[in-house]
Amino acid sequence: MATRYSPTIRRRRLSVELRRIRLTAGKTGEEVALAAGLSKSTYSNIESGVKKRPRIREVRAVLDACGVPPGKEYDEILNLCRQALDRGWWSRYRDVLAGRYVGFETEARVISTWQPLVLPGLLQTRGYMRVTAQSCLSGPQDIRRFTDARLTRQRILDEEDPPLLWAVFDEGALLRLRDHPEVLEEQVRHIVEMAARPNITVQMTLADRLNPGSGGPFVIMDFPDTIDPTVVYLETATDGIYLEEPDEVARYRNLAEHLRLVALRPGETIDHLRENHLEGRSVRCGRP
């Protein structure tokens, strides 16, 4: 079980538990809302998760309305509500981070990511973050906040029980650093070092080869508790799209497997990085 916990995950789990309790009681949402003294919209928002920070008294009223007796289950659900009311560290960076995504990432047990344009965020160096932010014409203050937030995200990889990270990226993300040779070398060395960790697997697709990942980047996040369904994250200009339906998750798992098959194997990836992007050799595409 992960030692990390995220208010985002606890809020989603609270919704699942409240729906389960209502169905077990054989009640409709309208019946529970009436018995709990809540409006239908308020109760609906609590159960669906639209209301991100439900009050303790509201959840207690729902439990009472569903006939849940005082005891372990009652207390555990109220504790879920209390944890959902916490604010994660990422709330301080809501202007530069997709808060909901980081909330999921914080508690994920396995993170599988495909990045065709940039390097995976958990493997980026400060220098890489800086030059990519500058390319977006960000100001100095925004760049500082952006890099500080991303470096804080990466701390999950240094914890006692870190998540398993399987990162696949395209070589083009490195080729774009040709005008920043020092950043390129630092970044490649960092990837090689991180890939030596037992919980991190890195693979790379070659820039001069077609692959099945042209549809865009995605991240699959699996969680330690079976009550928490897998989430697929698709990045957008805002907070992104989150997919949880089993058929949608299966589609992206299949895509991830295909990408792993067409990419260089983990050992080949490291050899290719060393031979083509380090040791003063010229940057080129193709197999070594």
**Portions of the chain given CATH number 1.10.260.40:** 7-85
| Domain 7-85 bears CATH identifier 1.10.260.40 | yes
Gap between the Cα atoms of 242 and 195, Å rounded:
27
**Portions of the chain given CATH number 3.30.870:** 95-277
What is the average per-residue pLDDT within 62-82?
92
pLDDT digits (tens, 9 = 90+) for 110-129: 999 999 999 999 999 999 99
Gap between the Cα atoms of 50 and 135, Å rounded:
35
What is the average per-residue pLDDT within 31-44?
93
pLDDT at residue 57 in the model: 93
259 token code pair? 């990408």
Q: Is 223 exposed, middle or buried, given 0-12, 13-18 or 19+ CB atoms closer than 10 A?
A: buried
The candidate with the shortest Cα–Cα distance to 201, out of 265, 124, 287, is 265
pLDDT digits (tens, 9 = 90+) for 206-253: 999 989 998 999 999 999 988 889 999 998 776 789 999 999 999 999
Strands (E), the chain: 110-115, 164-170, 200-205, 218-222, 231-234, 241-243
| Pairing status of strand 231-234 against strand 200-205 | unpaired
pLDDT at residue 282 in the model: 40
Residues 125, 186 contacting (CB under 8 angstroms): yes
Gap between the Cα atoms of 267 and 288, Å rounded:
13
To the question of pTM greater than 0.85 for the whole model, the response is no
Residues 200, 154 contacting (CB under 8 angstroms): no
- Identity of the residue numbered 149: A
pLDDT at residue 112 in the model: 98
Gap between the Cα atoms of 200 and 165, Å rounded:
5
pLDDT at residue 4 in the model: 64
Kindly report the number of other CB atoms within 10 A of residue 213's CB atom: 21
Write out the DSSP string of 45-81.
HHHHT-SSS--HHHHHHHHHHTTPPSSHHHHHHHHHH
| Pairing status of strand 231-234 against strand 218-222 | antiparallel
Which residues pair with residue 241 across a beta bridge? 234
Q: Is the pLDDT of residue 3 over 60?
A: no
In CATH terms, 95-277 corresponds, of 3.30.870, 1.10.3470, 2.30.30, 3.30.700, to 3.30.870
